[in-house]
Amino acid sequence: MKLILLAALAVATPAMAQDMSTSQTTSTTAADPVGGYQPSQPALSGTPQPGVKPVFVQAPSPDQAFPPPAALAHYPICKRGQFDKCMQRGGR
Protein backbone atom coordinates (compact mmCIF):
# COMPACT_ATOMS: atom_id res chain seq x y z
CA MET A 1 0.00 0.00 0.00
CA LYS A 2 2.84 2.37 0.84
CA LEU A 3 4.50 1.49 -2.46
CA ILE A 4 1.38 2.47 -4.45
CA LEU A 5 1.03 5.73 -2.54
CA LEU A 6 4.72 6.52 -3.04
CA ALA A 7 4.48 5.76 -6.78
CA ALA A 8 1.40 7.98 -7.14
CA LEU A 9 3.17 10.79 -5.30
CA ALA A 10 6.28 10.41 -7.49
CA VAL A 11 4.19 10.61 -10.66
CA ALA A 12 2.12 13.61 -9.51
CA THR A 13 4.97 15.72 -8.12
CA PRO A 14 6.90 16.37 -11.37
CA ALA A 15 3.66 17.29 -13.17
CA MET A 16 2.83 19.89 -10.54
CA ALA A 17 6.35 21.31 -10.65
CA GLN A 18 6.27 21.40 -14.45
CA ASP A 19 2.95 23.25 -14.52
CA MET A 20 4.23 25.84 -12.07
CA SER A 21 7.51 26.41 -13.90
CA THR A 22 5.98 26.74 -17.37
CA SER A 23 3.47 29.34 -16.24
CA GLN A 24 6.24 31.44 -14.71
CA THR A 25 8.72 31.18 -17.60
CA THR A 26 6.25 31.71 -20.44
CA SER A 27 6.62 35.19 -21.83
CA THR A 28 5.70 36.94 -25.03
CA THR A 29 8.41 37.96 -27.44
CA ALA A 30 8.52 40.88 -29.81
CA ALA A 31 7.83 38.54 -32.75
CA ASP A 32 4.54 37.26 -31.33
CA PRO A 33 1.76 39.80 -30.91
CA VAL A 34 0.11 40.03 -27.50
CA GLY A 35 -3.30 38.76 -28.67
CA GLY A 36 -1.86 36.15 -30.99
CA TYR A 37 -2.58 36.22 -34.68
CA GLN A 38 -6.29 36.88 -34.41
CA PRO A 39 -7.67 40.09 -35.92
CA SER A 40 -7.43 43.10 -33.62
CA GLN A 41 -10.91 44.33 -34.59
CA PRO A 42 -14.02 42.56 -35.84
CA ALA A 43 -14.68 42.57 -39.59
CA LEU A 44 -17.98 44.39 -39.11
CA SER A 45 -18.46 47.16 -36.62
CA GLY A 46 -22.01 46.56 -35.43
CA THR A 47 -25.14 45.65 -37.33
CA PRO A 48 -25.53 47.16 -40.82
CA GLN A 49 -28.37 49.62 -41.23
CA PRO A 50 -31.50 48.37 -43.00
CA GLY A 51 -31.52 49.14 -46.71
CA VAL A 52 -27.73 49.43 -47.02
CA LYS A 53 -26.41 46.98 -49.60
CA PRO A 54 -23.07 45.35 -48.80
CA VAL A 55 -20.31 45.89 -51.33
CA PHE A 56 -18.35 42.81 -52.32
CA VAL A 57 -14.93 43.44 -53.89
CA GLN A 58 -13.12 40.68 -55.73
CA ALA A 59 -9.69 39.83 -54.36
CA PRO A 60 -6.73 40.58 -56.65
CA SER A 61 -5.25 37.72 -58.64
CA PRO A 62 -2.28 35.90 -57.11
CA ASP A 63 0.01 37.47 -59.73
CA GLN A 64 -1.00 40.94 -58.58
CA ALA A 65 -1.09 40.16 -54.86
CA PHE A 66 2.23 38.27 -54.83
CA PRO A 67 4.30 39.35 -57.85
CA PRO A 68 7.20 37.04 -58.76
CA PRO A 69 10.73 38.31 -58.10
CA ALA A 70 12.71 39.74 -61.00
CA ALA A 71 14.86 37.29 -62.95
CA LEU A 72 18.61 37.27 -62.36
CA ALA A 73 20.93 38.31 -65.18
CA HIS A 74 23.03 35.14 -64.72
CA TYR A 75 22.27 31.79 -63.08
CA PRO A 76 25.33 29.79 -61.96
CA ILE A 77 25.46 25.97 -62.10
CA CYS A 78 23.98 24.40 -58.94
CA LYS A 79 26.34 23.02 -56.33
CA ARG A 80 25.52 19.96 -54.26
CA GLY A 81 22.52 20.68 -52.04
CA GLN A 82 21.80 24.02 -53.73
CA PHE A 83 18.39 24.36 -55.37
CA ASP A 84 17.60 28.09 -55.49
CA LYS A 85 18.96 30.76 -57.85
CA CYS A 86 20.99 28.26 -59.88
CA MET A 87 20.74 26.15 -63.05
CA GLN A 88 20.95 22.35 -63.31
CA ARG A 89 23.83 20.92 -65.35
CA GLY A 90 22.92 20.25 -68.95
CA GLY A 91 20.19 22.87 -68.92
CA ARG A 92 20.02 25.80 -71.29
Cα–Cα distance between 14 and 7 in angstroms, integer? Answer: 12
pTM over 0.85: no
| pLDDT score recorded for residue 25 | 45
Q: Whole-angstrom Cα distance, residue 45 to residue 54? A: 13
Question: 16-75 pLDDT, tens per residue?
Answer: 444 554 444 445 455 666 767 777 777 777 787 889 888 888 989 998 988 988 999 999
* pLDDT at site 23: 43
Q: Binning pLDDT at 50, 70 and 90, where does residue 13 land? A: low
